[in-house]
Structure 1
Amino acid sequence: MTNAALHVARTGLDAQSARMRVIANNLANVNTTGFKRDRAQFETLAYQTMTAAGAPASAENRYAVGLSLGSGVHMTGTARVNTQGALSTTDNPLDLAIEGDGFFQVTRPDGSTGYTRAGNFNLSAEGQIVTSDGLPLVPNIQVPEGATSVTIGVDGTVSAQVAGSTEPTELGKIELARFVNPSGLQALGGNLFAETAASGAAQVGAAGMEGRGSIRQGALEASNVNVVQELVDMIETQRAYEVNSKMISATDEMLRNANQQL
C-alpha cells in the first residue's frame, strides 16, 4: 500500500511540475501582443474499488459507503482564457486591435491559413500588409507605392490617398475569423493558431458582423496575463509540489521503519 502511495505522490509531482510550466509560459509572455493566458486542467486517475457501495455486508445489510482508493492525478490539458486584453494606443496606422471576438487571418509558408490576435502589421517591400514574420494578411491588401494616409475602418475597410486622386481609394477589406470554440485552436507559436476539429470551422466575414469584433486602428491588444494572479498561482503550485515531495519522504520513512521492524 505504501508503494501505491509513492506512485500517487509521484503523479502529484508531475502534475504540479506541468502546471508550473504553464504559469512560467504565461509570465514569459506578459508583454506579448495579443497573448491569451493558459490555465492548467486536472482530473483524477482511475480508482481501485476494494468494496463497492451497496455491496452485501451480510445476509441482511449492505455497505452504505464503498472503499475506493485513488491512483493519483494528471493534467488533461490547458484551457486558453480568451478574455479581452487591454488596448494601448500606438498611433501607428498599421497597428490593429480587435475589440471583441475574432482573429486576423494570415497565410503560412505552407499555404495554410493561420489565425492571430497580434495586429502589429508592417508593409513588405512589395507593399503587402504582413506580420512581423512576413506572413501576408488574408485577404491580401496591396498598398500602392507612394500612397499616404492609410486608414482602416472599424469594419476592416482599408483606404489610402493615392497619387493622382483627390478622394481616398479603397484598397480592400480586412476580414476576421470567428470560432465556436476558440480554446480548441492549436497554438503554433509565433502568435499563430491553427484550426482544429475541436475549434470548429472558421466563420469568416466582416468585422463587427455576426458576433465578430470591430477593428481599431493605431492600437494593439496587450496580453491578458495578470501578473499578480500568476504569482499567487505559482506560490500555490510550489506549496502543492512541496507537500507531494513530503509525502514521498514520509512514505519512504514508513518503508524504512517497516524493514527495520520486520
Structure 2
Amino acid sequence: MQALRIAATGMDAQQKRVEVVSNNIANMSTTAYDARRAEFADLHYQQLRAPGAISSSTGLVVPSGVEIGLGVRTAAVSVNHAQGSLRQTGGDLDLAVEGHGYFEVTLPSGDPAFTRDGTFKKTGEGLIVNNDGYPLAGNITIPQDARSITINNSGEVFVYFDGQTAGQQIGTLTLTTFVNEKGLEALGGNLYRETQASGSPLQGEPGLDGRGTLRQGFLEESSVDVVAQIADMIEAQRGYELNSKVISAADEMLSSATRIR
C-alpha cells in the first residue's frame, strides 16, 4: 500500500530533524556556533484527476482535482546566522565579531577558510593562528620581546615593549562578508568555505561597509536556544510516532484485505 511508503518518508524526515537538533544541542558550548534547521518539501503528486479537467458527463471544468501526495523529503539544512552573546575572557588573542563578518585563515592547501571563532593563539615564532594551527590572514607576527598586545575595534594590532608607553602597530586585521552567508559550506572545526551560492568574499576593515567590529578579550558564544531545541525535538518525536502509527494502521488494513475470502 502507498500509505506504507508515504509514512516511511515521514519517519525518515523526522529522524533527520532529530539529528539536526541533536547536533545543535551537542554544540551548545561551541564558540560562535550557529544553529541549524532542517527544512522539508513535499514529494511528487499522483494526478488522478488534474485540476481544471473537463467533466466527461457535463463538459464543465471541475473546480478541483484529485492529487495524492507521495510523502516528504529533506529540502535543506539551513544555518541560522545569528549573533551569539559575548563572553569576556580577558585573553589578548581572544577576539569576538560584533556584527557581520568572518575571520579568514589559510588552510594547509593554501585555500582560504572563514570562521567567527576568535580563539587565536601564537606559535613559537609569534605567528597568530587558530586552534588548528591555521594562520590568520595577513600573517601577523608578534615580536618575541613584546610585553603586551592590543587590538582595537577597527582591527589595528599594536604591541608594547618594555620601557615604551606608545604602542607600535604591526598590522591590521580584516573581516570578510558574503552576499549569502547561508550558501557557505561547513568544513567542521568552526570553519566555512565559499561556494557559488555564497558569492565571492568581500574583505575589508571592521566597522565599514556593514562589517562588524572587533572586541578584544571576548569570545562569541553559541547562538543555540536550548529550550527551543528541546521543543523541536519533542515535536519531531511526536511526528515520528504518528508516522509509525500510520504504518501500523496501513499494515492492519493490508492484513485485513489479504484475509478476505
TM-score normalized by the length of structure 2: 0.97
> For 1:23-76, what per-residue CA distance to the aligned partner results, in whole angstroms no more than 9, with x for missing partners?
000000000000000011100011111101121113332211100000100111
Cα shift at 1:167 = 2.3
The residue that corresponds to 1:74 in the other structure is: 73
In structure 2, distance between residues paired with 1:219 and 1:28: 22
Looking at structure 1, the residues matched to 137 and 198 of structure 2 have their Cα atoms a distance apart, in angstroms, of 19
Q: Secondary structure at the match of 2:84?
A: coil
Shift of 1:162: 3.1
Q: CA RMSD in A?
A: 1.0
Q: Corresponding residue for 2:220?
A: 221
Partner of 2:5: 7
What residue in structure 2 maps to residue 196 of structure 1? 195
After TM superposition, list the pairs within 5 Å mapping 1:56-67 onto structure 2: 56-57=54-55, 58-67=57-66
Spell out, residue by residue over 1:64-119, the C-alpha distance to the aligned partner (whole angstroms, 9 max, x if none).
11000001001111110011000001111110000000000000111100100100
Structure 2 residue aligned with 1:30 = 28
Which residue identity lines up with residue 16 of structure 1 in the other structure?
A: Q
Cα displacement (A) at 1:163: 5.0
Question: Are the equivalent residues in 2 in contact too, given 1:195–1:201 (CA < 8 A)?
Answer: yes
Give the secondary structure class of the aligned counterpart of 1:106: strand
SS state at 2:231 partner: helix
Within a 5 Å distance, the mapping from 1:248-259 to structure 2 comes to 248-259=247-258
Structure 1 alignment gaps of length 5 or more: none
Moved more, 94-103 or 52-61: 52-61
Please give the alpha-carbon distance, in whole angstroms, between the structure 2 residues aligned to 1:148 and 1:10: 63
Q: Deviations over 1:169-211 (max 9, x none)?
A: 1010010000011111000000000000000000000000101
1:33 is paired with a residue of what secondary structure? coil
CA shift digits 1:114-172 (9 cap, x unpaired)? 10010011111110111011111001110000202200010100000135755211010
- 1:54 is aligned to 52
Q: Distance in 1 between matches of 2:213 and 2:165?
A: 28
Once the two structures are superposed, the pairs formed by residues 59-138 of structure 1 within 5 Å of their partners are: 59-138=58-137
- In the aligned structure 1, how far is the partner of 2:218 from the partner of 2:163? 30
- Paired residue secondary structure (2:255): helix
For the Cα contact (< 8 Å) 1:144–1:162, is it kept in 2? Answer: no
Aligned position for 2:150: 151
Question: Which residue of structure 2 lines up, in the alignment, with residue 176 of structure 1?
Answer: 175
Cα distance in structure 2, aligned partners of 1:180 and 1:258: 57
User: In structure 1, how many angstroms separate the alpha carbons of the residues matched to 2:23 and 2:10?
Assistant: 20
**Amino acid aligned to 2:82:** T
* SS in structure 1 of the partner of residue 14 of structure 2: helix
Unaligned segments of structure 2, at least 5 residues: none
